[in-house]
Each structure stands twice: as C-alpha cells, then as structure tokens.
Amino acid sequence: FKSALGKTPRRPALKKTSHTQKDPVGVYCRIRPLGATDEECCIEMISSTTIQLHAPDGIKANRNGEYKETQYSFKKVFGIQTSQIELFEDVAKPLVDDLIHCKNGLLFTYGVTGSGKTFTMTGSPGEGGLLPRSLDMLFNSIGPLQAKRFVFRTDDKNGMEIQGQVDALLERQKRESNQQSTVPKTPSSKQKPDPEFADMISPEEACKCEGVDEDSCYSVFVSYIEIYNNYIYDLLEEAPIDPIRHKPPQSKILREDQNHNMYVSGCTEVEVKSTEEAFQVFWRGQKKRRIADTQLNRESSRSHSVFIVKLAQAPLDADGDHILQDKNQVTVSQLCLVDLAGSERTSRTKAEGSRLREAGNINQSLMTLRTCIEVLRENQMCGTNRMVPYRDSKVTHLFKNYFDGEGKVRMVVCVNPKADDYEETMLVMRFAELTQEVEVARPVDRPICSLAAGRRHRNQDGSVLNQLLDSLPALPACELVDPTDEQILPRLIEVLERRHRIRQMITEQYTRTANTLKSMLQEFDGHLMAKENFIHEQWGKLGEKDKIMFNQKNEMDRLEKKSKMLEYKIDILQKTTNIYEGDKRSLQQELESREQRLQRELSERKRMEARMQGMVSDTKHQWEKECVNPDRTTTGTPIRLHHRRSHSAGGERWVDHKPLSNLDLDTVMQPIIPNAIKVSAASEKALSKCHKYVLTHQELASDGEIQTKLIKGDVFRTRGGGQAVQFTDIETLRQECPTASSRKRSSDDGPGQHDGNQMDWNDRENRVSCPSLIHLGWSKTAIRVL
C-alpha cells in the first residue's frame, strides 16, 4: 500500500518477467428472478456459459427494421434456480482454499442497482451469501489449529508480529479490564450469535479445506471499510459519538507497505476465533453503512463496502509446543470481498441534492474502474506501456496490487432481466466482456518450513504417554502381620495387574511410536536418497549446461570479435565513402566548370569561323574583281598587289616565338607584329605579359620547298597559377620556284596572271585547330614542335 501523496514505487523486476504465468480474470454471471411474472424479460440463458440480450419494446430498431440481439460469454452463467451453495462452490471456495495456502484473492460483485449484488455477497437468514460461507469454511478448516488470542499482533505497517504466551495472556487481561469499563466485551465464540445471522448456513452445507498444514498455528483478522464519495471510512472504528456537534467520522488514507501492497492506514483489525464472532463484527460494521432509498431500490447501497479477511500463520517449533518466535516465518494472506455500489443513470434514480452527488461519485469510481481495465487490456494485448490511472479513484487505488501483483481475481456480474434495465445491462455486459481479457499473475507457492512434519501429533503422543505414566496406581502396604489376612494379597495382585496392563499399554504405545518413527525415518531416508540422486542428476545437468554455456561464451566472444572487426571495416568504408563523395563532388564541380568553359569556347570559335569565312569571301571577291579585265595587264598599267595583313597584326600584345632552328628565307613578304615580345624559347614571363601567342614553324612541303606555318592562339591563366595557350588559327606561307610557277599559272589559270618571284597568296590557308585544348605548363615544360 502506498501513500496518497507519494508516487507509486516500481515493483520488483521479478514480477514483470515474461516467465511469470498469468490467468485471466474469472468473470461469472448471475441472473436474478423477475420481481413480477408479468414483467418483460430481455435476457435469455442459452447455455451454462452464454446469455443473449433481446431488445425490449420501445427500443429503437436497427436499419433493417429488426431488433438487435447480442450474445455474451462468461466463465459460467448461474440462472435463476441457482442456490447460494452452488454459487459458492464455483466462485468463492477456490479463493478460500488459496487463502489457507498463503495466496491472496479478490472477489467483487458488479451490476446495476437492484440486480442482486448484496444478496449474492451477504445473503439472508437461511441463505447465506459468499461472505458468510467463506468465513464458515475458513474456521471449519483451521478451528482446532488456531493460536491463542493476541499471540499474533498487527503492527502499524500492514505487518504481523508474534509474542509469547505470557505476553499474550497479559495483553488479553489488560484489554478485557479496559473493555469492562468502556465498551462491551468482544464477542466470544461461546456467546449466542446475533439473530440477524442465525441459521444462515445449515450444518449440511458446511465445508472445509483439505490439505491444511497441521504443523502451523493460524489466526484470523477482519476489517470492514466503506468508500463513500471517494473517501475511506472505517466501519469498525469505535469513535466517541458527539450528539451535539454531530462530527462526521475521520476518513482514512491509503499507504503502501514494504511488499508493495496497498492498505488503509489506521484501519481497525479485529481478531476473531469463530464464524459467529466474525458475523458479529460484520454486522456491527454493516449497521454503519450508507444506505439510502432511490427510485430503483428501497434499500440501495450508496457506497462501496470492502470486507477484508486476513489470515496469519506461523510454523510450530521442533517440539510442536509453541510457535516459532521469528517474524520472518510469519506468512500473511488476505481475501477481499467487495460489494460495489449500483451503477445507474441519475435520470432514472430521480436523485437530487446529496443523493445526486453520491450517484455522480459512484458512477465516477466505476468509470475509473472501467478505464483501468481498458488500459490494462491494451497494455497486455498490444504491448503498450500506458500508465494505468489507479490513483483516480480510491477503489482502483486500493486494489492496485491485485492487478499488478499476483493472486486470483473473480467478478460476479449480477443482472436483472427486466426490460427497464436493458441499456444499463448492455454497458455492464460490455465491461464484463472486456474484463475477461485482462490477465493477472498466478500466485506462487510459498516456501515450506524446513522442520520435520508431524510435530503437532508427535507432541500429542508424548502427552498421552505422560498421562498413562501418571495413571499408574500406587502400591499398597505389603506387610503381612496376620497369616489369615485375605485382603492385602488380593489388593496387591489387583494393583499389580493394573500396573501390568498399563505397562502393556505403554509398551504398545512405545512400539507404535517406534514403528511410526522407524517408518518416518525410512521414508525420510528414501526421500533423502531420492534428493541425493536428484541433486546428482542436477549436478550432471549443471555440468552439461556449464559446458554449453562455455561453448556459447566462446562463440559469443568470437562473434563479438567478428562484430568489432566488421564495425571497424564499416567505419573504414564509411570514411572512404566520405572521401570518395567529396572527390566526386569536387570533380562534378570541375566538370561543370569545364563544360561551361567549353561552351564559351565553342561559341567563340563559331564566331571566329564566321568572321574568317567573311574575310575569305571578301578576299576572293576582290581578287576575282581585279582579274575580270585582262586588258589592264596588256596596256602596261601595272597591277597593284594589295598586301594582306596577317591576323597577327591586331592591337593585342603578342608573344612572337621563333625558334633558333628556323631558316632565314629572306623573303619580301614577312609577317610583322607590332608591340610583340620576341622569344626563341618558351618563356612563362613573356606569356604572363601578353594575351596572344604565335609560333613560327617550318617544314618541307610536298614539292620539296620550305613551308612556313604561323600557329596562333590565346593566352589565359590556369587554376594552378600557370599560363595556358589555346590554339585558334594556323596561317601557311609557301614558296615556289619562279619558272615552274609561271608555267603552271599560264597553263592552269590562263592569261592575266603575273610572273615574278613573289609569294602565292592564293595558296594561303586559314584553318582552325581541333576543338581540344592544348595547355602549356610554362613553369615546367616548353612547346615542342615536331
């Protein structure tokens, strides 16, 4: 249990492991009889596990014009003929059996107002409900095994302590003396029971649990609380009554103990020793419950009641005489029997004022219960981790450890088959159907004490032997004074015969005890041998598992090394990929820049070709015009040859590269480049000062004459800081023999051609270099002309 102001501590990881076995919440359905035979019924029991709801008259039909019929399945359905004992056998008896075997349980009734929840839980005279039958079965099972009163004592932190017989006797006397002057004495099992609970359970219906540990002592504590308007009140608290101020009772708070179990702090826990005494305590708290009339039920419960049965047990010592004075050996289990308030619409109850507020709080707490169930179902079925809103209501907060911890949870859905409750019953059925899909951890068996079994009976056998020894008659006086005395000898013979019979009985008892002990020792030896064999087998299996674990460890180490190596390689590949990606991006950028430059150069070359074509066409047109009239040459008028300036005669700054290996031809027509820097070898310094470049190259023509070529280009800077030349034009100058050339011209060209030693400018060729760029690294290499 936890404080309402603090956060819920996390549970131990053991309870959240996937190996924990779980069982679904057991949901049962009970149908109560109709109040009148002429009432319309909307529920039909189809089988022992299924019911069907029929829409009554007045309910809107569906689209097809037919009433919708819905079926719901439960773990078991109890019809109107079901008796209280049949319901107890299937629902509550397994929970009481688990309570005696140190396992927790929760049982609550749920339904609309007037569906029979209180009758199912409490019952009536002659027809005891689940609560009185559970108490009766508990005390029938542990009755002779109970400890003396006040040997077990509750502390303030939901724990249990053990005190000795003397301390328990002193505390019992002290409390009885205090109660004589204040409140009536605690009801004893010998007192006459309250007539309200007289004959609730017939002797024929009494039952008990089998397999109870007889080497332990038990004690039962009960507490009774109610949750009203989301406040917790102790129904067994003996608070003084102030008739003037009418001060309401103090509400309690919830806390959490060291085992993460919720409990009501300061709640009264009464130790009871019989079924009748437990009935008296229950009825005393029942008289304080909030019960008010509503439109639906004359005696409708307006609060949730929780009756908690706590069973404490501890083993006997080795002699079987006293309880072990060890708090760690005390085991506490509890069974919560809950009667929830009825759920209904406030419009039907006609509630006003405080009754309206009560109904709102009841519906709010039940809605919180539905929300918690829905979130639990979603987390378990969908694998989500949503927070369950237990703290939104005191009811869900109190039972948090049952759903998150371990134990059994049972719910009895009570329904009224009358047509007026059809819509509310539909909501109850949907909630019950949802609850069945929630799973709760199965309770585990508690460890058994290591002391030998049968300690209680062995002590009883010893007491019988001591009684026999104490019953030996004393020997009478054996002195014979008178030989005729006939009384002493018969009396002595009778005493000796009695002592002989008692001795035979002691011998038989000793023989039986010895045989029992011998059989127990043999059985113990057999168990010990079986345990030793089992341990030997387990050691063998453990050795095999160790080998498997060793091999698995080696394999895991190898895989881990391989994984690290692969991670290292992946890291290297990732870095290499990053480098390649960077190079790729830089190359892409350089390629894009070169493509742009090529596009610019291609467009410039096209413009230059167009310009040169225009110049060639103009020159050809001029020569043709001058050669049209051949008479001009015969009249002696000299033909004026126009000197064509080389393309190198522009206004740009040129580098005139004439290698020393060139021959001086001493021709008249020589290309003249003004403001040119003349060099005989490659010079980066000269290129850095000029924009144009021309290289004079000589080679032999096909006719054996020397042919001169002027290779021209543009100079531009490179990224590396050097100079590069892009060749754009070649001018060819060719010499011919005067005689051969005149004859050739007279035969080929006809009259009108001039003779003389002059250069044939008609053979001049203007060509554009290939589109590729020729880069000259002037800082490292020079142009080599082959």
Binding residues are 111-118
Task: Give Dmax (Cα) for the chain.
Answer: 219
Place of tokens 């919708």: 68
Query: Residue 36 CA to chain centroid, in angstroms?
Result: 52
Whether residue 767 contacts residue 730, with contact meaning beta carbons closer than 8 Å, is answered with yes
What span, in angstroms and rounded, lies between the C-alpha atoms of 475 and 491? Answer: 9
Burial (0-12, 13-18, 19+ Cβ within 10 Å), 309: buried
Which of 686, 680, 694 minimizes the C-alpha distance to 648?
694
CB distance 303 to 341 below 8 Å:
yes
Phi/psi at 593 (5° precision): -65, -40
**314 contacts 216 by C-beta, under 8 angstroms:** yes
Handedness of CA 168, 170, 175, 180 (dihedral sign): positive
The secondary structure of residue 252, as a DSSP letter, is: B
Phi, psi of 678 (to 5 degrees): -90, 130
3-state secondary structure of 398: helix
The DSSP code for 392 is G
Read off φ and ψ for residue 12, nearest 5 degrees. -60, 150
Cα separation, 189 vs 403, whole angstroms: 36
Q: Do 142 and 212 meet the contact criterion of CB atoms below 8 Å apart?
A: yes
The string of DSSP codes covering 738-785 is HHHHHHHHHHHT-TT---SS---GGG--EEPPPSS-----TTT-----
Residue 157 C-beta-side C-alpha neighbours within 13 Å: 5
Give the residue numbers of the binding site for ATP. 111-118
CB 711 within 8 A of CB 695: yes
Q: What torsion, rounded to 10 degrees, do the Cα atoms 185, 186, 192, 198 define?
A: 140
Place of tokens 């020397």: 706
- Which among 264, 238, 240, 270 has a CA at the least distance from the CA of 251? 264
> Which residue, among 118, 122, 125, 315, has the nearest Cα to 201 in the 3D structure?
125
CA distance 500 to 494: 10
Closest CA to 102 of 330, 420, 426: 330
Letter string b/e over residues 64-78, b meaning 16 or more CB atoms within 10 A of that residue's CB? eeeeeeeebebbebb
